[in-house]
Structure 1
């Protein structure tokens, strides 16, 4: 037999012979899948999150969509501060859109705790970018930036330019830009200067905000009445997207009647959204284009007074509805 024929035989044997694939699977995980093959039911009620991950991976390997769906539902019902980052990475890995969205919404509402948890540093770069793109991530931007810095230190060697670009620097105070962002060394000086300039020339910035249709956000998320110089304003606990302000005049006032309701995100740029009549005790609704709001005040256009809240004894209630 020639060398050429010998080579053909070896190749044929390698190509045509029996091929086996060995996958290391924990016994408990394998028993769950084996039980499903025999009975059509999944015994997953006693599985912890790590074991659910193992079964999910095996279900994906064997192309069992009904198993993946059941396990994804279980993970949805067991989201927590400590596991949501891991579950998000897993959901994206196996293309589970519903589970991915559940994780993102959970992180939106619990961002303050999730971003500070150690597991956040284990998040994949792709998942981190998806989180940072969200307008509904409820956390102050300086704390978002600090979380990104910690993530970058834990993931050294990863190109973080695309990650840093998703931090909304214009929402960070000048003081924090100078004392926190600049010393980190991960943001170019020109971008810091741009971030300082943008709030001066623009009234609309890319605020992250609560979006809660039909919810009285002033009551649900909390608000306070604050005196700032000669102004009395209602300050929401965080930015909220709203399009209705309902004001109840509890006691009429003789020295002012028609006033303007104004809203702001930064106490610098104010927008008038409607007028109210303070001469008669009544509830009045003001409808306007949905926008992010943090501060509310009432201004007497004739006298210029901005302390009307103190004298009119009125109550502001906010409702957020889809237009």
Structure 2
């Protein structure tokens, strides 16, 4: 090996005292690649000899460490050559260069060599190289190679590459079926591909592709693959004239398929549908259209900002005696969805009730969302188990103002986000009593309608930043946009002096029937409150003050549900270690709580200038609400 050190550029010294010449180290070790200098063993691959250095191979690979120093026969003294079987010499040379240099130019490798190197990287335990090749293969998928790459990804358990191959084949299902590479799939890979609901092609075309595959793979037991073909999705003519004549499917299986097709509900059939993750497919661009409902053009135009009393929404009259009522959206193609977003008309404080059904034939409907028992408003975020859908029907059943259901915006999609459901209702993990989640305060006095849920816990004093009600009259009521299943809440009582309050909390789905979930009427409570209760569905939360040690007004600065996870964890920890049932969790006052205000005149009129936010005569007879 020649001395090349004198070719290196001079490097300047560093005042910090740190020297980093990693590039020189890489060059020096890389210079040993395929050099006899200092080599102490030879690897023989397809009769080609590779001089190597045991210590370098052992340092880079556990496989070679065990082979060369693990006590096997190859590691005994006097062994100078080791033969590696089932290995291609050209591919091994690429791997060996990577071992010495840490570099490999993947673009210079032919596809076959690339797959060979992938196999060697897996065999010899080079995980980083295997992942890098996997990512490179993801970017070079084509109809010509996707099936071959899928099989390799399956052999080497490359989950990311497998998923990318699945998605590519889903998006190009017909081309994949007709490609030559489809014929090279193993039986297990064939089953994995065809069993996916998102591999969306006409079932008769899938059957024909399997028939061609069977002709080229006569040694494979066909029933292991044919079970992935969904015969009940074919027409009667296709079953009798194509499937039966092929002699690949028994007469009994064909009769069973006809029986399923004719006796089962359409919604019970195992349909295939296209899958477009995280993208709204209820758009004109995706071929969707509104086929039932008044003022159809507004619903799918994507404009959810420009609407008023006369325009910007679709609607239908609410008629309890008309089962055909509703707004129906037809998607551009059968699609897999699990998420729907709606914007109910919300220019005033009205609430709606509704349900949503889906169908493949516009005849047999299955209900996926039932909010007929709940009062809902503004934006609705809805989740349900994924289904293949062609038609979506939204039916309003109640409007608190009149007998018309108004819908401003409709979106549907497949989402990969994990959402917990209980009885079809979302169990949120973040605070949903926020303006961003379309919640609102419908009862209570404040200078700003939604001060209670605007998230500001810093800026409040004796005059502003809180919501209140007169003791013995009224309450503070928060309406969530839609029903949620909740089991915890947190609120901040006004704490700018040493006063304490007593209160209770009730919840409701319709603002008529209330259930108490927290009773602190006999406890002196102050500042931050956190409490839990048995989970239940709700849309309204009523906070009622029953005592204030300073005056006759109940003041609340902030409300959230569910309680912030960190606060809830601290509450549960304190409850288990101190008091089995404490009424509150006392935290430090937030920045902005001015304890010095204790000496100020607290008889100021807190109602002055309050913008008349209370609805339906809830305001009492001009009380003086002071802090």
Pair 207,245 (structure 1): closer, same or farther in 2 beyond 3 Å: farther
Instruction: Work out whether 1:236 is the aligned partner of 2:332.
Output: yes
Instruction: Work out whether 1:135 is the aligned partner of 2:197.
Output: yes
More helix by share: 1
CA contact (8 A) 1:225 1:234 kept: yes
Q: CA deviation at 1:157?
A: 2.6
Q: CA deviation at 1:112?
A: 1.8
Instruction: Work out whether 1:209 is the aligned partner of 2:273.
Output: yes
Deviations 1:195-233 (CA, angstroms, capped at 9, x unpaired): 122233233222223444542112364335679xx9987
Partner of 1:107: 169
Q: Distance in 1 between matches of 2:276 and 2:239?
A: 30
Q: CA deviation at 1:152?
A: 0.8
Choose from 213, 216, 220 the match for 1:154.
Answer: 216
Choose from 253, 257, 260 the match for 1:198.
Answer: 260
Q: Distance in 2 between matches of 1:275 and 1:97?
A: 39
CA contact (8 A) 2:334 2:360 kept: no
Pair 31,210 (structure 1): closer, same or farther in 2 beyond 3 Å: same
Partner of 1:117: 179
Q: CA deviation at 1:163?
A: 0.5
Partner of 2:227: 165
Choose from 90, 94, 98 the match for 2:156.
Answer: 94
Q: Distance in 2 between matches of 1:236 and 1:275?
A: 26
More strand by share: 2
Q: Distance in 1 between matches of 2:188 and 2:219?
A: 15
Choose from 103, 109, 112 the match for 1:47.
Answer: 109
Bigger radius of gyration among the two: 2
Choose from 21, 25, 47 the match for 2:88.
Answer: 25
CA contact (8 A) 2:275 2:336 kept: yes
Partner of 1:304: none
Pair 225,37 (structure 1): closer, same or farther in 2 beyond 3 Å: same
CA contact (8 A) 1:49 1:75 kept: no
Pair 56,291 (structure 1): closer, same or farther in 2 beyond 3 Å: closer
Instruction: Work out whether 1:70 is the aligned partner of 2:164.
Output: no
Range that drifts further, 56-65 or 121-130 = 56-65
Partner of 1:269: 364
Q: CA deviation at 1:316?
A: 5.3
Runs of 5+ consecutive residues of structure 1 not aligned to the other structure: 1-15, 250-257, 277-281, 302-311
CA contact (8 A) 1:248 1:316 kept: no
Which aligned pairs between 1:298-313 and structure 2 lie closer than 5 A?
Answer: none
Pair 190,300 (structure 1): closer, same or farther in 2 beyond 3 Å: farther
Q: CA deviation at 1:284?
A: 7.7
**Higher RCO structure, 1 or 2 (CA under 8 Å, sep 6+):** 1
2:83 counterpart SS class: coil
CA contact (8 A) 1:209 1:241 kept: no
Instruction: Work out whether 1:223 is the aligned partner of 2:298.
Output: no
Partner of 1:306: none
What is the TM-score normalised by the length of structure 2? 0.40
Runs of 5+ consecutive residues of structure 2 not aligned to the other structure: 1-77, 293-323, 346-352, 398-405, 420-627
Q: Distance in 2 between matches of 1:80 and 1:97?
A: 18
Instruction: Work out whether 1:175 is the aligned partner of 2:237.
Output: yes
Q: Distance in 1 between matches of 2:156 and 2:276?
A: 29
